[in-house]
Structure 1
Amino acid sequence: MLVSVSQRLTQAAQPLCTAYGSGDCTLQVTLDPSRAARASVSGQGRVTITFGMLELLGSEDEVAAVLGHELGGCVAKFSAGREWLQQEINQAAKSNSLATKVA
């Protein structure tokens, strides 16, 4: 089930990954044997879901919703990082321009 959900989400998220410049949008899912109900993301496209979470979820669609939430956080962080970098570049360019004008 995790393989098919991962493939579904990868296909659905690919346009976002392409649009935000992260390129390949492959979701890597790891199953943690813990009975605690958790899911988390660590790095781009690496999601861990616990056995306990799978026990709570009633269908493949619910698993997709949880993993999609985690993948969405990953895409959002990447996008925010790109926006921050662009702001820094723009600020540096403005500072440089002002320094050139003052000098």
Structure 2
Amino acid sequence: MGSAKIKKGDNVVVLSGRDRGRTGTVTQVMPKDGKVLVEGINVMTRHRKPSQANPQGGIDRIPAPMHMAKVAVADPKDGKPTRVRFEEKDGKKVRVAVKSGETIDG
């Protein structure tokens, strides 16, 4: 597999679902499943019974993975969603935002 279009640390915009329009940073990429984990987006609540490890119990808020197709890389210029293409600059393969032409990674 070549370079991924979405990488850990990218700023992304959610395209569909209840969090549509929100932006966040990718914390984990799961290429085999085609999913990404975005900080503060798609947060699920889990009700926990009291146990020896957690005697208080309570509600845990855990970010759930979402499909890569539901997010797009945010354009470095204006923060709007954009597609990504690869170009070679100074003998190095870099990701470039299609809308603005700006380099996404170094």
TM-score range, shorter chain: under 0.3
| TM-score normalised by length of structure 1 | 0.22
Please state which structure has a larger fraction of its residues in helix.
1
| TM-score normalised by length of structure 2 | 0.21
Q: Which has the larger radius of gyration?
A: 1
